[in-house]
Structures are given as structure tokens and as C-alpha cells.
Amino acid sequence: MKRTPLYHKHVELGAKMIDFSGWEMPVQYESILEEHITVRKSVGMFDISHMGEIKIQGKGAKKTVLYLTPVHEQKLVPKRASYSFLLNENGGVIDDLIIYTFSEETFILVVNAGNIEKDFNWIKENALSETRVENISENISAISIQGPHSTRISESLFSLELSNMKYYSFETNLEYRGSKILFLSRTGYTGELGFEIYTRPEDVENLWDELLTLRVKPCGLGARDGLRLEAGMPLYGHELNEDITPLEANLRKFLDMERNFIGKKALIERVVEKRLVGFKMIDKGVPRKEQKIIYQGQEVGYVTSGGYSPYLNEYIGMGYVKNNGIESEINIDMRGKEKRAVITALPFYRKG
Amino acid sequence: MIPKDLKYSKEHEWIKVENGVGTVGITQYAQEQLGDIVFVELPSIGREVEKMEAVAVVESVKAASDIYTPVSGKIVEINEELNSSPNLINEDPYGKGWIFKIELKEPKELDELLSAEEYERLITEG
């Protein structure tokens, strides 16, 4: 299994390590719920060095990004990050990712750890002329600082005013005690105010240690999953996969349907058969991936994610149901017992 | 750390018997493995159950786990406090985190369970 440069730090802190898409990562340090609540109330940090980075450069880079993703062109301006996807010819999601625009000719795509090879191959195969594609995942590590106190913490690291930094913007050429910071973005996967700091692998340990002395709580993948679920954010392999389109996943606002890109034709032609919904349990119980969703006695869909929400003190979930006629009350089949739930607008929680 | 006066199952339940009624919960080791417990589905009172039948479900943030009764009998009491505070199992697995009480049908079944020493060996040697 692969390890990030912070692996030994996690073990030292007593983290419980798990296999996450081939990476040995911390799922929790002490308590998933405590870590979750810390991010909502003060500040926590996550090792996200396992994420992949693919650099697209050259005169054809912008055209390539526009051809490979459905991103709105006006969002491809320097120092701006955009959430987008790689789509296949059927409109299915190969991966969801963030595009960092450095210039007209330089882009970095931050992709899911489990999809790095697949994405890299797809991008190489489909890149237009005058474009260089490079997998730079091994050269970049990252820490995500999330929570209402994350601005104060990040400001104290860089002696920089960050409170006016816009959501999904980023800064480059920062330094921290002689260590080069590749980029710092106002992004995250928690629905909370937060920053992600991308560094060289040899610099990430210093940064982690400094954050520990600033009493930023280390948080694992367990808390990260609960936080993104409350924020109604999709997780690849759960809400998204190669058979699901962004339209089904309620992500239409990220699609520029005015221009051409791979998968566009299918998005127009394909019948939207299912849609992603959020739900809260009326009867108690924790919804889990793949449990059946029942409506008026008929199986109409399946759960993609579920859990206990400490913020709401309720059991919540997301899942796909048939696109028409399913409203308000549904049942979730939990180990043979049908439990009542109510369809709820997403997100369950969103601050930043 | 492992209470001497209890009997244990290989599935990490404990039972304490007084006057023919057994109190059942899960062990310290089991709650540590499960992590934060967020929901407990309790059995109904009066239900007749066979040894090793799944009678309750403990759900942690990560997964759902069946709780098996270590003996046969009738469920006579359940820990209602777990409905509002399932984390009692994390905080006090051998005390306030008990799950149900069962009236024993075959007290002899207790002999098939593990002693504290045997249980300790099970969790240390795997």
C-alpha cells in the first residue's frame, strides 16, 4: 500500500489506519465524531497528500481542459479554482476534480487518489495538440485546514490577510519558514470555511508539526466523510461513477451546455432516469451504501451514502431514486426491516 | 481490564448472571474496534431467543454489527437509555452500556462460554 510523507506522524498520533483506494490513511485518531464536531466548531486538519495532481501545459492546454471537462470557460482565469469532471462519451463521470488555473497555458487538475492512473491515461489519450500532460502526484503533498478558525490559523502561518479570500480562489508563491508553498486555496470538502495548502513532499512534515503546535486537531477520513455528507457533497464511487451523469447527480450548475466537450452529446440525448436525493430518517437507523429505497411498496432506488449527523443529531443519507413521482416519504430497507425516511433538500449543512 | 466475574462469547459479548437473569453487553475490546456508536437497535421485551441468535444491532459511524445472545431465553429488560445515548457503550461498556437482560432457559449454556482469562487470550492472540 502507498503511504504519504505524513504516514509516520499519523502512526505516532495513534491513528487507526485503513486502506483507502490503495493508500494507507488515517480513518480516525481518537473519535470520528469529536473530529467532526471540532471542524464545525473550531478547526481541524486532514492529510490530503494522497490526492492526485495532473499538470496540463502548453499552447493547447486551455483548449484541452475545455474539451475534457464541462467547465464554464469564464471560470478559467488565473488564481481561480473550479469544480468539474472528466466525462466519458456516455456522459458518465470518469472522475470529479478541481481545475486550478495558473495561466492560459498552465493548469493543474486535482483528482481523486483512486483514479489517478485512469485519469492520467484518459487525459493523455484525449489531449489536443501542443499540450503536455504530466502526472505530478508524487511531487505534491497537501494539508487541508477546515473550520471557522481556519482563517486565523492560515493567516498566522503566512502573515497574510486571508479573510477576504474568495471561495474557490487560490494564491501562489507563498513561503513558510523557507519552505515553498506551491498553492493555497480557499477550498475544502467539509462544507465549512477552509483552506488547502499544497506543498512539496519534503516540506509537508514541517507544516503539519507547526499546525499541531497551533493546536489544530488532526482529523481522519471518517470525519471527512461525515462532514462532506452533511454538506451534500458527492464522493466518487458513491454518488458518482462512470454510469452516472452530473445531471442525475444534481450537478447541472457545473455544466456549460453552451459549448462542446466530451460527453455533451450524451448529456443532451440521454434520458435522465434517476436523480440524487437527500433524506433524513424518521425511524432511527443508520442508512448504508447499497441499501434499497422503497416507495409505496416498490423498490425505486438505492442508498449511496449515509450516516449520523452530529450537527443535526439525525440520521441522514443520499441516494438515487427514479426520476419521477417519488416525493416526500420513502422507506429504507435496513437488513430486511423497512424504516421510514423523508426526502430533504440538499445540502443538510453548508457554511463555506 | 477484563472483569473477572463475567463470562464472554467469541463474538465479544459479555454476560453477568444474577438469580437466573443475565445482563448482556459488548466488551471494551469490541467497542474500541467499532469506534463511535451512534445507534443501537434493541430487541423487544418478551422475545424468546436461541443461543447465538442475532438480537440487537449496534451501529458505529463505520458499520453495523449484529449482537448475538450468548444464551437462550426470554428478553426481560432492555437498556432504554441507549436510545438517546448510544455512546454509553463506548464510555462504560461493562456498566451503563449494558444492552439487554435475558431470563436464562438453559443455565448449562454458560459453561460453553469463555472465562475472563480465555477471552483475554482470544483477543491478544487473535
Q: Is the dihedral of CA B87, B93, B97, B100 positive or negative?
A: positive
3-state class (DSSP) for residue B111: helix
Residue type, A22: G
User: Closest partner residue to B39 among A27, A32, A308, by Cβ?
Assistant: A308
Q: Where are the domains of chain A?
A: 7-49+140-230, 52-138, 273-344
Phi then psi for residue B29, to 5 deg, are -60, -45
Say if B64 is an interface residue toward chain A (CB within 8 Å). yes
Q: Is some CB atom of chain B closer than 8 A to the CB atom of A285?
A: yes
Q: Report how far residue A197's alpha carbon sits from residue A145's, in angstroms, rounded to the nearest whole number.
A: 8
Give me the residue label for grid cell 443535526: A312
Is the residue at B1 inside a domain?
A: no
What interface predicted TM-score (ipTM) does this complex get? 0.86
pLDDT of residue A240: 98
B91 touches chain A (CB under 8 A): no
> Could you tell me which CATH number the domain at A7-49+140-230 has?
3.30.1360.120
Report d(CA A33, CA A37) in Å as an integer: 6
Structural domain contains residue B112: yes
Spelled out in words, what is the top-level CATH class assigned to the domain A273-344? mainly beta
pLDDT of residue B113 exceeding 70, the answer is yes
Residue A148 scores a pLDDT above 70: yes
Do the strands B100-104 and A80-87 form a parallel or antiparallel pair, or are they unpaired? unpaired
Going by C-beta distance under 8 Å and a sequence separation of 6 or more, which residues neighbour residue A319?
A276, A277, A279, A287, A293, A301, A302, A303, A304, A305, A306
Residues in chain A with CB shorter than 8 Å from the CB of B63 are: 288
pLDDT at A351 over 90: no
pLDDT of A155 strictly over 80: yes
Buried b (16+ CB within 10 A) or exposed e, A332-341: bbbeeeebeb
Q: What is the mean pLDDT of residues A276-286?
A: 97
**How would residue A352 be classed by pLDDT, with cut points 50, 70 and 90?**
low
Number of CB atoms found within 10 A of residue B29's CB:
18
pLDDT at A324: 84
CATH superfamily, domain A52-138, is: Aminomethyltransferase beta-barrel domains (3.30.70.1400)
Q: Which residues of chain B lie closer than 8 angstroms to A27, CB-CB?
A: 62
Residue B22 lies inside a defined structural domain of this protein: yes
Distances (CA, A) of A111 to A106, A119, B115: 16, 8, 51
Residue B110: give its domain's CATH number: 2.40.50.100
| Contact predicate A18/A27, CB 8 Å | yes
- Other beta carbons within 10 Å of A153: 20
- At residue B1, the pLDDT reads 80
pLDDT of residue A327: 84
Q: Are A177 and A206 in contact (CB under 8 A)?
A: yes
**CB-CB contact of A221 with A26 (8 Å):** yes
Q: Among A308, A311, A334, which would you mutate to test the B interface (most chain B Cβ atoms within 10 Å of its Cβ)?
A: A308
Phi, then psi, of A223 in degrees rounded to 5: -65, -40
Show residues of chain A in contact with B57, CB under 8 Å.
335
A307 contact B CB<8A: yes
Provide the domain count of chain B: 1
Cell triple for B66: 449484529
| Rounded average pLDDT over B78-104 | 97
pLDDT tens track for B32-65: 999 999 999 999 999 999 999 999 999 999 899 9
Q: Alpha helices, DSSP H only, in A148-246?
A: 150-158, 204-213, 221-230
Phi and psi at A143, nearest 5°, equal -125, 135
Q: Which domain holds residue B87?
A: 7-125
Question: Cα separation of B90 and A258, whole Å?
Answer: 54
What's the grid cell of residue A31? Answer: 473519535
Which of A27, A33, A285 lies closest to B41 in CB terms?
Answer: A285
In a domain? residue B70? yes
Nearest-angstrom CA–CA distance, A187 and A174: 17
Q: Name every residue whose Cβ is closer than 8 Å to that of residue A82 and which is 6 or more positions away in sequence.
A: A71, A72, A75, A76, A98, A99, A101, A168
Residue A279 exposed, middle or buried by CB count within 10 Å (0-12, 13-18, 19+): buried
> pLDDT exceeding 70 applies to what percent of chain A?
100
- Residue A185: burial class (beta carbons within 10 Å; 0-12, 13-18, 19+): buried
How far away is chain A from the Cα of B76, in angstroms, using its nearest Cα? 22
Min Cα distance B107 → chain A (Å) is 31
Confidence band for B126, pLDDT divided at 50, 70 and 90:
low
Are the Cβ atoms of B41 and A33 closer than 8 angstroms? no
Does B35 touch chain A if contact means CB atoms closer than 8 Å? yes
Average pLDDT, chain B: 96
CB burial of residue A271 (10 Å; 0-12, 13-18, 19+):
exposed
Rg (CA), chain A: 20
pLDDT at B81: 98
Predicted pLDDT at A177: 83
Which residue, chain included where needed, has cell 452530529? A310
- Tell me the sheet residues that pair with A217: A44
Q: Is the pLDDT of residue A135 over 70?
A: yes
Task: For residues A106-127, give the mean pLDDT.
Answer: 98
Q: Is the dihedral of CA B64, B65, B66, B69 positive or negative?
A: negative
Q: 3-state DSSP: chain B helix, strand, coil percent, rounded to 5?
A: 25, 35, 40
Is B2 among the domain residues? Answer: no
Summarised one tens digit per residue, pLDDT across range A211-263 is: 999 999 999 999 999 999 999 999 999 999 999 999 999 999 999 999 999 99
Q: In this model, does residue A326 exceed pLDDT 90?
A: no
A6-39 pLDDT, tens digit each:
999 999 999 999 999 999 999 999 999 999 999 9
pLDDT digits (tens, 9 = 90+) for A159-211: 889 999 999 999 998 988 878 899 999 999 999 999 999 999 999 999 999 99
Per CB-CB distance under 8 Å, the chain A contacts of B54 are none
Pair B17, B101: CB distance under 8 Å:
no
* B57 contacts A33? CB cut-off 8 A: no
Q: Measure B91 CA to nearest chain A CA, in Å.
A: 12
